[in-house]
Amino acid sequence: MIGATAASADPPAAAGNTSHGFSVDRGVLTTIDHPEATTIPTTPVEQAGTATTSINDRDQILGAYQSRDRVVRHFLRDRKGRYTNLEDPPGGSDFDEYVDISNRGEIVGFYNDDQGFTTAAFLRTRKGRFVDIHVPGSQVTGALKINDRRQVVGLYVDADAQPNPDGSVPPGAIHGFVWHDGDYTTVDVPGAAATTVLGINNRGQMVGSYIDPEGGYHGFLRDSRGAVTTLPEAPGADPRLGGTQPSSINDRGRIVGLAYDAQGGSRGFRLERGELTPIDAAPDAVFTRPLDINNRGRIVGDYGTRPPAGATSSSSSSSDRRAAGPGLPDRLGGLSLRGAWLP
């Protein structure tokens, strides 16, 4: 097992609202907390702290943090541990998200409206120019990963899709996609009710998750010719509550991801040559989410802990309107259709 020893053999319970970034290098886990981040949420349901979502081969780490003035900011962290804040995307809202960075320094993410609901995606070039990514005929497009060939993957939702009364999305409404220089290709796992592409490497191999007709979640690997293989279930994964969701694949075929458990929490895993290795960030972690792996095998993600007992936070006097927002997204990189969370 990578990281700290778990408190029990069972996956962590699903709770906690202080987030910490982490990296794993040669089996050693290091916590990453932005020096200006608060770790005390203002409400019991808020997510405060730091999250790290991506790492490239230059060891640049992309992430976000909620500052002590209750503003959510995105950052780049270089290999020497120095932080640079990123400017917000132009014309969006205060809830937009950067989620992945390539070796070329290009970043992808998505726009959210003022209520936090996802609308369209973008690519930010090394020179700071923004390219819109919006699958034609979709109401939601979310970019989640980019490779060095400038192929972008993610998910989109059909224009006429409406949430079911229970908040779920109807079968056949959610699709994976690949964008390359303005061209879009839909990616659907045969027979699936929904497909999401979560990662792509420079060989064109993709990983993601799909929902079967009975509502179970499963991870998959898609090769460059389009052949799809269902991945083995990670330890503790409950297909009814998210199951096995691979989040990234590097050029050596190493895969990392999340296993959602019966309590709705998660622990991480690494899959290499058919062998699954659990990743637990800390003994007190209530969730662990590996989100990216570079070609050196270094892994980044985030984990959650409960705030110290009795911890409170006063409201901010900042005039920035983001100060009234909900803090870090409780699932950074999770897209939201109005009225329903997307898988």
Q: Thinking of the domain 12-341, which architecture would CATH place it in?
A: 6 Propeller (2.120)
Residue with tokens 């939702």: 157
Question: Can you tell me the mean pLDDT for 332-339?
Answer: 41
Which residue reads 């699709």 in tokens?
175
- The model's pTM: 0.88
The pLDDT tens digits of the residues spanning 190-228 come to 999 999 999 999 999 999 999 999 999 999 999 999 999
% of the chain exceeding 70 in pLDDT = 84
pLDDT (tens digit per residue) in 122-133: 999 999 999 999
Residue 214, number of CB atoms within 10 A of its CB: 8
**In the structure, what pLDDT confidence band is assigned to residue 307 with cuts at 50, 70 and 90?**
confident
Give the per-residue pLDDT at 14. 37
Q: Is the pLDDT of residue 136 over 80?
A: yes
For the stretch 19-56, pLDDT in tens is 999 999 999 999 999 999 998 887 776 789 999 999 99
- Under a CB-based contact definition with an 8 Å cutoff, are residues 143 and 131 in contact? no
State the average pLDDT for the chain: 85
Q: How far is Cα 134 from Cα 209, in angstroms, rounded to an integer?
A: 21
Given a contact cutoff of 8 angstroms between Cβ atoms, the answer to whether 289 and 63 are in contact is no
Amino acid, res. 37: A
- Report the first-to-last Cα separation within the chain, whole angstroms: 27
Other beta carbons less than 10 A from residue 81's beta carbon:
9
Nearest CA among 6, 88, 61, 83 for reference residue 325? 88
What's the Cα-to-Cα distance from 123 to each of 23, 102, 305, rounded to whole Å? 25, 11, 32
Listed by start position, the domains of the chain span 12-341
What per-residue confidence (pLDDT) applies to 334? 47
Judged on CB neighbours under 10 Å (0-12, 13-18, 19+), 87 is: exposed
What DSSP assignment string belongs to 188-216?
--TT-SEEEEEEE-TTS-EEEEEE-TTS-
Confidence at 308, pLDDT banded by 50, 70, 90: low
Q: Residue 322: helix, strand or coil by DSSP?
A: helix
The pLDDT value given to residue 341: 38
Question: What are the strands, taking DSSP E only, across 231-294?
Answer: 244-249, 255-260, 266-272, 275-280, 287-293
Q: Is the pLDDT of residue 69 over 70?
A: yes
Of the ranges 16-20, 132-136, 294-298, which one carries the lowest mean pLDDT score?
A: 16-20
pLDDT score, position 309: 63
